[in-house]
A and B are shown apart, each in its own frame.
Chain A
Amino acid sequence: MNADKPYELSKTLLEILACPACMGKIEHVEAEEKLVCLGECKRRYPIRDGIPVMLIDEAEKPST
């Protein structure tokens, strides 16, 4: 196990994760360590220490 990532994002979790703002599906963009909403809002959620931070207030909104 990678010491920098105590928990790799599990497939089980990714399958059920949804955007808390719009309920859109979530895609894991590994290169950026982000979870990106594929639904209407397109928010981008951070992953810290291998743990998804699925808080609406802490997500990046897409630039307009």
Chain B
Amino acid sequence: MKSIHTSVREQFSQHAEYYAQSSAHAKGDTLDVILDFADPKGTEKTLDIATGTGFTAFALAPKVSHVVATDLTPEMVTKASELAQEQAIKNITFSVAAAESLPFATASFDLVTVRLAPHHFQDVPKFLSEVHRVLRKDGLFCFVDSVSPESEKMIKWQNYVEKLRDDSHVFGYPPSQWDTMISNTGFEIEKTTHTRNAQMSFLWWVRPQKNPPEVVREIREAFAQLSTEEAKKHYTIEPDGDDFHFSWPMYAVKAKRTQ
């Protein structure tokens, strides 16, 4: 069986160009939330974990002292470094690194960010422990990611369809479990907010060019089994002929390292 790190690297090494051009990753509410929560003063030594092609890191760079941007997938980091050169961003450096084994000395950073990635991490408690370690005391951790609704049934459903579509998906926790894990790691949660990604076409999201028809059918059937209330309340589903549009719930946290 493939390790999660292998699955993630296979998934993302093929798609650096796609992510570099993805408007869903380049902008949107989730980037605004991270910038708002981070509220940089210009002096922060910053780490952006799972930077992908660098959107969050590039947005932070003019507002902080320095950004170190890491990702597990070398192709993503290479693309990000090319984009940084094109955009003449000088205060950014890159490293290939796993979120669960960060290659930095203890208390190296004032600010750590991660956006739209922890559902791919193989060990979230270990990742949080590493974020805690590399942050100085009173340093800030700001994250936003897709989450499951707060019910056992929906946690199971959402992770089932996400994993069917993309085997590099590991687990989307509900907000309450994020709060518990973050607090248990030694952070004090200062602010949280619920948001959503933009409405997506199911036929685009399900990636029919990559997933075989039987998998696409299985995912579509899973959506069809949602009650009308679940479909609307949790996923803002809107029918559109053969297609439908929907969004994932997102959760953002600003937490301070207090211990």
Contact = CB atoms under 8 A, between A and B. Distances in A.
B126 to A, nearest CB: 12
A13 interface: yes
B86 to A, nearest CB: 11
Contacts, number: 69
B95 A54 contact: yes
Q: Is the interface of B mostly helix, strand, loop or mixed?
A: mixed
Q: Which of B85, B98, B104, B106 has the most CB of A within 10 A?
A: B104
Contacts of B68: 13, 16
Contact of A12 (B66, B77, B78, B102): B66
B177 interface: no
B78 A51 contact: yes
Nearest to B71: A51
Given A16-B105, A51-B74, A6 B95 contact: no
A53 B96 CA distance: 5
B66 A50 contact: no
A12 B217 CA distance: 50
B98 A55 contact: yes
A6 B101 CA distance: 25
Given A13-B68, A16-B105, A20-B103, A6 B81 contact: yes
Interface residues of B, number: 24
A26 B105 CA distance: 10
Contacts of A51: 74, 77-78, 81, 94-96
A18 B220 CA distance: 46
B155 interface: no
A39 to B, nearest CB: 11
Interface residues of A, number: 26
Contacts of A64: none
Interface string A1-35: 10000110010110011111101011000000000
Nearest to A58: B96
Nearest to A50: B81
A60 interface: no
A7 B98 contact: no
A7 B81 contact: yes
Interface string B107-126: 01000000000000000000
Contacts of B85: 1, 6-7
B81 A16 contact: no
B36 interface: no
6 contacts: A12-B66, A18-B105, A20-B101, A25-B105, A49-B78, A56-B101
